[in-house]
Structure 1
Amino acid sequence: MNVRRLIPATALAGAVALGATALTSCAGTGAGAAGGGADGKLDVMASFYPLQFLAERIGKDHVKVATLTKPGVEPHDLEITPKQTGRLGEADVVLYLKSLQPAVDKAVAQSGVKNIVDAATLTPLEVHGTSGHDHEGAEGHGEEGHGEEGHGDEHGHSHGEAAEDPHVWLDPVKYAEVAKGVGAALEKADPGHAADYRKNTEELVAQLTALNTEFEDGLKNTATRTFITTHAAFGYLAERYGLDQEGISGVDPESEPSPARMKDLQAVAKKENVSTVFFETLASDKTAKSLASDTGLKTDVLDPLEGITDKSQGADYFEVMRSNLKNLQKALGNK
């Protein structure tokens, strides 16, 4: 199975050399063994929701977690205020995913914080290539699944080299790997509560493992393996479960697809018996609804989980992922 190529608006820079735990030395910070805040809690700043969720689930009562990306804000387009920059510099631990949010990358580099965790170093990132519509099942997705076959403008904008896909949290297996790295980082930053962080990490990883099983079982038998989505964020999810993602836009949900891309998607929808065009809660649904109207398809939500709002189909990561599973089953014709 080959997954469609994702073309981010900014190329992914080299990973920060942070080691297995992605944590630099704690020396010289206010973190200490019991946290740097007046309340004794570890002050954690997360760049956006998926990392905020991990910090809250693993840290629980021992941490105070804030996020740079407010609910309802599209993370890719985040601009950081001077106040946020100052707040970032006061954190004991910073969690971010390099290349996803250029403004965050710059602020983190200038923050002076010693405990910086780059989630992009905690699980291998992949370049999701593009080829035909053949599917050999999930077990056939090795390195050959990431090949490139010259469809340079497939996602409606020009590009040079293919860049790595940052959306690792949409694959529960890879998200569990990130969780382990975040847990290890909190242990080092606050060794006095290391046993609790370890226990909480193990519990969260077990829940993510169970979620992976739900997706495997739930998407095993479907009438079609192809889905069309506004935001090409689901490459890891598609690869994990033997599906074929067709993104209207690339990694940036606000980029406009070319007329040629829209025509190509109409042909794909007909050939692959696609029933549904997915849109999301944080980005415009205009293009998705236009394509659906032109092809006589239905629309539904597939949430890339870059933030939670009152419009989200769930209150947290697990609830929204299970909503995504149900919507995929319905669209793909679960048997």
Structure 2
Amino acid sequence: MIKRLVAVLFSVFALILAVGCGQNSNSNTTNSKVKVVTSFNAMTEFVQAVGGDKVEVATIIPDGTEPHDFELKAEDIKSLSSAKVFVYNGLGMEPWAEKAIESAKNDKLVSVVASKGVETIKNTDEEEIKEHGAEDPHTWLSLKNAVIEVNNVKDALVKADPSNKDYYEKNAKDYVAKLEALQKDYAQKFATVAHKDFVTGHAAFAYLCRDFGLEQQSVEDVFAEGEPNAAQLAELVEFAKSHGIKTIFAEEMASPEVSKTLAAEVGAKVETIYTMESKEDDKSYLQRMGDNLSKIYESLK
């Protein structure tokens, strides 16, 4: 009887131990993911493309928030204090980033400026330079620049998690191939159009224009900080009419109403264009970039 009782107790103990070990195993699996914090959506997508199921990503700037207007909160700094990697665009897009890194006091944090290595476009407006810096920060809206940013993300993940180096490198290579294929496709298409000018609400597409030999005219300035006065609007109306502009592009977070007003003045239609600062329409970076290029191409034909 005693032997049977001991056997039963031993079996129960073994079962509890097995369950406990199973729970610890699951916990370790979860915890083994590299915790990455990003500044906004485009950076998040690049990390997810490279990191796959090896990363756990948190985005600081909420969807629907204009990044230029974002103010850092205490919980954002707390998230950085326990992260392994922090990815942000740089060039004044996140003026709070360096302060956040310093305040997090995380000496193991691998931080990367995703735009490092990009040939930047200089701002020319004195007020923009004074308030934001000398360079246009919208680097991720260029497929060529996206290749650079993805590789910077890959290098950061490899540094933080060298045991999965091959995995990150393969994912980066595959994603870069998709970026380059889309670039090649539209480089050929844009080479066939005679008109190179398009009008958008937010002057965020200078790098995209450089990639394809296009020119943008905008309702607002580079940092989405102001609406045109009557004289500036009249100038845009004249430009649109003289260049046969039939489409005015608008972004949800950059005064779409002004774009609609301009469109009404010149008899043009309004089309949405993505800046990839927030997740929109449940589409990936590649899908939204493809949509952007398709719409711009069709407007120039």
Asked if these proteins are the same fold (TM beyond 0.5), I'd say: yes
1:200 aligns with 2:171: yes
RMSD: 2.1
Looking at secondary structure, tell me which structure has more helix per residue: 2
Q: Secondary structure at the match of 1:117?
A: strand
Aligned to 2:190: 219
Q: 1:327 aligns with which of 292, 295, 298?
A: 295
Aligned to 2:112: 117
After the TM superposition, which residues 278-293 of structure 1 pair with which residues of structure 2 at under 5 Å, given as runs?
A: 278-293=249-264
For the structure 1 residues 110 and 53, does the alpha-carbon distance in structure 2 shift closer, same or farther, using more than 3 Å as the test?
same
Q: Secondary structure at the match of 1:43?
A: strand
After the TM superposition, which residues 299-318 of structure 1 pair with which residues of structure 2 at under 5 Å, given as runs?
A: 299-309=270-280, 312=281, 315-318=283-286
Aligned sequence identity (%): 31
Cα displacement (A) at 1:128: 5.7
Q: TM-score, normalised by structure 2?
A: 0.83
User: Which structure carries more relative contact order (alpha carbon 8 Å, separation 6+)?
Assistant: 1
Aligned to 1:24: none
**Aligned equivalents of 2:59, 2:128: Cα separation in 1:** 31
Q: Secondary structure at the match of 1:120?
A: coil
Cα displacement (A) at 1:223: 4.2
Aligned to 2:24: none
Count of paired positions: 269
Letter aligned with residue 326 of structure 1: S
Aligned to 1:297: 268
Q: TM-score, normalised by structure 1?
A: 0.75
Q: 1:186 aligns with which of 150, 153, 157?
A: 157
Aligned to 2:214: 243
Q: Secondary structure at the match of 2:249?
A: strand
Aligned to 1:85: 77
**Aligned equivalents of 1:160, 1:202: Cα separation in 2:** 36
**Aligned equivalents of 2:268, 2:185: Cα separation in 1:** 27
Per-residue CA distance 1:279-305 (angstroms, 9 max, x = gap)? 013333111011111222221112111
For the structure 1 residues 108 and 258, does the alpha-carbon distance in structure 2 shift closer, same or farther, using more than 3 Å as the test?
farther
**Aligned equivalents of 2:78, 2:101: Cα separation in 1:** 11
Cα displacement (A) at 1:101: 2.4
Task: Work out which of the two has the higher radius of gyration on C-alpha atoms and give 1 or 2.
Answer: 2
Cα displacement (A) at 1:51: 0.9
Aligned to 1:102: 95
1:269 aligns with 2:240: yes
Cα displacement (A) at 1:254: 4.0
Per-residue CA distance 1:155-203 (angstroms, 9 max, x = gap)? xxx4456721111111111110111111011111101101111111111
**Aligned equivalents of 1:108, 1:263: Cα separation in 2:** 45
Q: Secondary structure at the match of 1:166?
A: coil
Per-residue CA distance 1:90-112 (angstroms, 9 max, x = gap)? 11100012210223443234223
Aligned to 1:61: 53
Q: 1:127 aligns with which of 94, 110, 122?
A: 122
Q: Contact conserved, 1:172 with 1:208, CA < 8 A, in 2? A: yes
For the structure 1 residues 92 and 305, does the alpha-carbon distance in structure 2 shift closer, same or farther, using more than 3 Å as the test?
same
**Aligned equivalents of 1:225, 1:306: Cα separation in 2:** 25
Q: Contact conserved, 1:77 with 1:101, CA < 8 A, in 2? A: no
Letter aligned with residue 59 of structure 2: T
Cα displacement (A) at 1:63: 0.8
Letter aligned with residue 259 of structure 2: A
Q: Contact conserved, 1:254 with 1:284, CA < 8 A, in 2? A: no
Of 240-249 and 159-168, more deviation after overlay is shown by 159-168
**What stretches of structure 2 of length at least 5 have no aligned partner?**
1-27
**Aligned equivalents of 1:160, 1:86: Cα separation in 2:** 31
Q: Contact conserved, 1:89 with 1:112, CA < 8 A, in 2? A: yes
Letter aligned with residue 233 of structure 1: A
After the TM superposition, which residues 116-195 of structure 1 pair with which residues of structure 2 at under 5 Å, given as runs?
A: 116-127=111-122, 152=125, 158-160=127-129, 163-195=134-166
Letter aligned with residue 33 of structure 2: K
Letter aligned with residue 284 of structure 2: D
Q: Secondary structure at the match of 1:250?
A: coil
Aligned to 1:138: none
Q: Contact conserved, 2:115 with 2:148, CA < 8 A, in 1? A: no
